[in-house]
Structure 1
Amino acid sequence: MIAQIVPILLAFGANLGDRRSAIASAQREIGAAPGVRALRASPLRETVALTVDGPDPDAPRYLNGVALAETSLNPHELLDLLQAVEARHGRARGSDPADRWADRTLDVDLILYGGRVVADERLTVPHPRAHERDFVLSPWLDLDPDAVLLGHGRVDALLARVGDTTTPFGNDDHA
């Protein structure tokens, strides 16, 4: 049986440690993993930290980017891969819901898995807040100016609606 190849969109973020190195290393690991191919990373963008109370200019700033790739992994196998990469980069996952907003060495989110909708106790795809996040939308447009977010519409229109507070980050040596 031949595995189906599915296009995916991943989002990367880090605001602790060597942010650029962590993201680049994670992108290389994911791109080299069995079942993943053709990973293409966006330039990185810097953003203010987003907390449960909103933007926090006093918290360490985030580096963010996205990557398009193809996979033969199913959504949960891909999630397991992403979480293993995060763990190797020092990401600790706690049971407290406030941990979602905590500073981190690496965060990798599955934004899109082809045209599939997944909603279970482990995974929601398309990512439920991607349409509100300039740090996802802006670098995505760098890779695909005609991008469309399933269930929400054109990415350029979504970014125009939320506003772009990101700033380009130096000369990127992305994966």
Structure 2
Amino acid sequence: MPKAVLALGANQGDPARQLALAGAAIAAHPDIEVLAESSVIVTPPWGKTDQAEFHNAALLIETGLSPLDLLDFCLATEAGIGRVRLEKWGPRVIDIDLIAYDRLEMESERLTLPHPYAHQRDFVLTPLREIAPDIADWLVNRIGTSSA
């Protein structure tokens, strides 16, 4: 089964609780097995910097879901925890980003893989290096040298 990386973040409400809820929902899906979970780090906001610090973590999963089905599940999980999308890079109750799906490269209206900003975000790379350093290196080397 394919392996995928999910990055989780939150900076509103009770971020630690929301990350735990997201992790539990992901682990409970019948077509997902959590292979590794990083520790939680606290980082300054990225993109829109006038907001609270974020709690961030990463999950390495194995899944029978297609990339778009996994994206839909992540979006539904966010909504179930209370996420309302108001502004790009703004504060959020929970964020679940699909960072990589095996070494698949794709670009559609709904999803770009690997995530186009992953190589620029320490809040993604630091937790990812803890659980899957080979994938973190691939993101930095593949994306970091091919776009810019």
- Per the normalisation by structure 2, the TM-score is 0.89
Whether 1:130 and 2:118 are equivalent positions in the alignment is yes
CA distance in 1, matches of 2:9, 2:40: 9
Structure 2 counterpart of 1:48, one-letter code: P
In the alignment, which residue of structure 2 is the partner of 1:89? 81
Gaps of 5+ in 2: none
CA RMSD in angstroms, aligned pairs only: 1.8
Mapped pair 1:60 → 2:55: no
Q: Which residue identity lines up with residue 69 of structure 1 in the other structure? A: I
Q: Which residue of 2 aligns with 1:80?
A: 72
What are the superposed Cα offsets for residues 118-152 of structure 1, whole Å, 9 maximum, x if unpaired?
A: 21000111000000000000111111344445463
Aligned pair count reads: 143
Q: 1:29 aligned to 2:21? A: no
Instruction: Give distance in 2, aligned partners of 1:153 and 1:139.
Output: 17
Task: Report the CA distance between 1:106 and its aligned residue.
Answer: 0.2
**What is the identity percentage for the equivalent residue pairs of Structure 1 and Structure 2?**
39
Q: Deviations over 1:24-74 (max 9, x none)?
A: 11011111102111342100000112234xx34xx2110001010100100
Using the alignment, how far apart are the partners of 1:20 and 1:148 within structure 2? 23
Q: List gaps (5 residues or longer) in structure 1.
A: 159-175
Q: What TM-score, normalized to structure 1? A: 0.76
Output the CA distance in 1 between the equivalents of 2:2 and 2:94.
Answer: 24
**Counterpart position of 2:61:** 69
Q: Secondary structure at the match of 1:22?
A: helix
Partner of 1:121: 109
Aligned pair partner of 1:16 in 2, 12, 19: 12
Specify whether residues 145 and 126 from structure 1 end up closer, same or farther in structure 2 by C-alpha distance, changes over 3 A only.
Answer: closer
AA at the equivalent of 2:59: A
- Distance in 2 of aligned mates of 1:130 and 1:27: 20
**Whose Rg is larger?**
1
